[in-house]
């Protein structure tokens, strides 16, 4: 796809996909099996048009290979997960990196970017856009990379691959620290989570609209996607009020969000396809584990039951 054609990309249902199940995680380098990924893709291909992948690891490679091998209609936003290149002492859950660790991360990030370019060219008929990172510049991130360095990665990707290039980030930094980066991007990608900001379900969609239009109006003429928006179905009270999460609320937000986005032709990746038990703390009610529209065992939650 030519970069200038992104704004003409047909609207479709989009969802974030990471297929890690119990006992698997990218950190452990234990990835879903081929059989498991095929099962997931059969589910995703039935209901969504676009999926978002976060990294260039073996899981992503298998997903791309199987989409091609199985001749599925899914198109992919392929990302690269860039690790910390600076310490962020403002992150309450992050670690303090040694200079040696940061130097290694910088080297690995460059290799990952090169891998992203390789995948983009190998699967140019499947990958419709590329992301130069995920939530790496926001104040609370545990994998901080300076906006200037992200901009450098964007330039490298644009030199090596034909697809439109973006960077996926919370909506806040686009207002005060990512102006130069936004100028280099082919389109802007924002994340919006009303439930993390203590918004009740009754005000959730309106808050999402405020987040979106606040960025879109700041950069007129620059396409803006929503690459993460979702509603958890469980919480332990740390950061999210347990009374404000449920399958009913997720179902409501999902349908209200998609109705608005379809009307306004805004491609929005709902977060996320499947619950991921490896995420967050060991607490079973940790909200990071409960954003899927399917359970970890692939049984549909309330929002998906009519379709599966």
Residues 103 and 156: their CA atoms lie apart, in Å, by 19
Residue-range definition of the domain harbouring residue 32: 3-289
Phi, psi of 202 (to 5 degrees): -70, -25
**299 occurs within a structural domain:** no
Q: What distances in angstroms separate CA 10 from CA 50, 51, 126, 264, 287, one per listed residue? A: 11, 14, 15, 12, 33
- Contact indicator for 143, 82 with CB cutoff of 8 Å: yes
Q: Is 206 inside any structural domain?
A: yes
Residue 32 structure tokens? 């879903």
Please report whether residue 173 resides in a domain. yes
- At 279, list the tokens: 């995420």
pLDDT higher than threshold 90 for residue 1: no
Per-residue model confidence (pLDDT) at position 90: 87
Query: What is the arithmetic mean of pLDDT over 62-81?
Result: 98
**Rounded-to-integer distance, Cα 29 and Cα 77, Å:** 22
Share of the chain above pLDDT 70, in %: 97
Return the pLDDT at 106: 98
Task: Indicate whether 284 pLDDT > 90.
Answer: yes
CA distance 138 to 146: 10
CA distance 306 to 274: 17
In a domain, 165, yes or no: yes
Round to whole Å and give the CA distance between 125 and 75.
Answer: 8
**Is residue 147 within 8 Å of residue 181, measured between CB atoms?**
yes
In a domain, 131, yes or no: yes
Any idea what the CATH number is for the domain that residue 150 is in? 3.20.20.80
Does any domain span residue 307? Answer: no
Task: Give the pLDDT confidence of 81-139 residue by residue, as tens digits.
Answer: 999 999 999 898 889 999 999 999 999 999 999 999 999 999 999 999 999 999 999 99
Note the pLDDT tens digit of each residue in 243-259: 999 999 999 999 999 99
Residue 224, strand partner residues: 188
167 pLDDT exceeds 90? yes
Q: Is the pLDDT of residue 154 over 90?
A: yes
Structure confidence by residue, pLDDT tens digits, 20-63: 999 999 999 999 999 999 999 999 999 999 999 999 999 999 99
User: What predicted TM-score, i.e. pTM, was given to this entire model?
Assistant: 0.96
CA distance 54 to 51: 10
Full 3-state SS string of 221-245: CCCEEEEEECCCCCCCCCCCCHHHC
With respect to residue 65, please indicate whether it lies within any of the assigned structural domains: yes
**Which residues are 268's β-sheet partners?**
226
Dihedral sign of CA atoms 154, 105, 191, 91 in order: negative
pLDDT value of position 6: 58
Q: For the chain, how many structural domains are there in total?
A: 1
- Confidence bin at 9 (pLDDT 50/70/90): confident
């Amino acid at each position: 796809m030519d970069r200038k054609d992104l704004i003409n990309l047909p609207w479709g249902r989009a969802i974030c996909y990471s297929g890690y199940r119990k006992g698997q995680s990218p950190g452990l380098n234990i990835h879903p099996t081929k059989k498991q990924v095929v099962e997931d893709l059969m589910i995703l291909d039935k209901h969504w048009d676009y999926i978002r992948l976060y990294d260039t690891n073996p899981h992503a490679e298998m997903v791309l290979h199987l989409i091609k091998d199985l001749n599925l209609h899914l198109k992919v936003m392929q990302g690269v997960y860039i690790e910390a290149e600076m310490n962020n002492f403002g992150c309450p859950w992050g670690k303090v990196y040694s200079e040696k660790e940061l130097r290694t991360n910088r080297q690995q990030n460059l290799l990952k970017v090169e891998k992203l370019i390789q995948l983009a060219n190998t699967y140019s008929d499947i990958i419709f856009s590329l992301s130069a990172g995920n939530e790496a510049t926001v104040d609370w991130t545990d994998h901080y990379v300076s906006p200037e360095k992200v901009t450098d990665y964007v330039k490298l990707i644009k030199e090596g691959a034909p697809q439109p290039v973006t960077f996926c980030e919370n909506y806040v930094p686009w207002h005060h620290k990512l102006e130069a980066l936004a100028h280099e991007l082919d389109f802007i990608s924002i994340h919006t989570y009303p439930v993390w900001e203590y918004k009740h379900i009754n005000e959730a969609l309106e808050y999402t609209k405020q987040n979106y239009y606040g960025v879109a109006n700041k950069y007129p003429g620059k396409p803006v996607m929503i690459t993460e928006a979702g509603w958890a179905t469980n919480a332990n009270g740390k950061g999210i009020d347990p009374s404000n999460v449920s399958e009913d609320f997720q179902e409501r937000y999902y349908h209200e969000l998609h109705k608005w986005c379809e009307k306004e032709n805004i491609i929005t990746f709902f977060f996320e396809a499947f619950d991921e038990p490896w995420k967050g703390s060991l607490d079973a009610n940790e909200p990071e584990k409960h954003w899927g529209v399917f359970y970890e065992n692939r049984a549909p939650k309330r929002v998906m039951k009519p379709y599966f």
